[in-house]
Amino acid sequence: MFHKEGHKIIFITLVFVVGTFFLIDEFILNEWLRKGLMIAILVFFILILQFFRNPKRNTHSNSMQALSPVDGKVVVIEEVQENEVFKDKRIQVSVFMSPINVHVTRYPISGKVTFSKYHPGKFLVAWHPKASEENERTTVVVENENFGKVLYRQIAGALAKRIVNYAKVDGHVDQGTDSGFIKFGSRVDLFLPLDADIKVELNQKVRGGESIIAEIK
């Protein structure tokens, strides 16, 4: 199954691939070159398909847990000052997504959306220290009675040229359901309460909607 954000790109790419195949078959006489070009274009199409895949996840909803919003690798676990919304200290957990990861963003907790804002910006590499402050990004806060407020921030990377965010202020959302999409390489930062019990380690691979990032004490 493919994410709806990729339907248009997949269709355009398919038309390009089919048209290019016909041109190669018509005008490239060298058999090895013809086959090589066709294989390269086919691999490109397969990469596009895998990027926009939207696999079903088995989310076990739990109001005492925050789940990973995306697939990827944990690259940051530290106490930081969050200055956009909370203006106090939080535990930041960041997950980096490579181009081969699923890029669907999912709600880390169920609850009410209390904040949702888009910020235009640069396209520094996603692991750059300034990426969370200077890159194109969206900030969303979801709150429930048990876990409290969880802020997650979608951050565009060097290749990402569009962030999609479905979160609407005052809307009720369900843990593990689609909250958006980031096209082509990015990261997501989670800002959790200081008393949250972190359940992941640096460099650990996580799955969106399934891996437990933290539990409230």
Which residues are known catalytic residues?
A: 186
Maximal C-alpha separation, the chain: 68
Helix or strand run (H / E) with residue 131 = helix 131-134
From the CB of residue 59, how many other CB atoms can be counted at a distance below 10 Å? 17
Cβ–Cβ < 8 Å for 148, 120: no
Helix and strand numbers (H, E) in the chain are 3, 14
Q: What is the rounded CA–CA span in Å between residue 95 and residue 71?
A: 8
Question: Which pair of structure tokens corresponds to residue 66?
Answer: 């925050």
Helix (H, G, I), strand (E, B) or coil at 31: helix
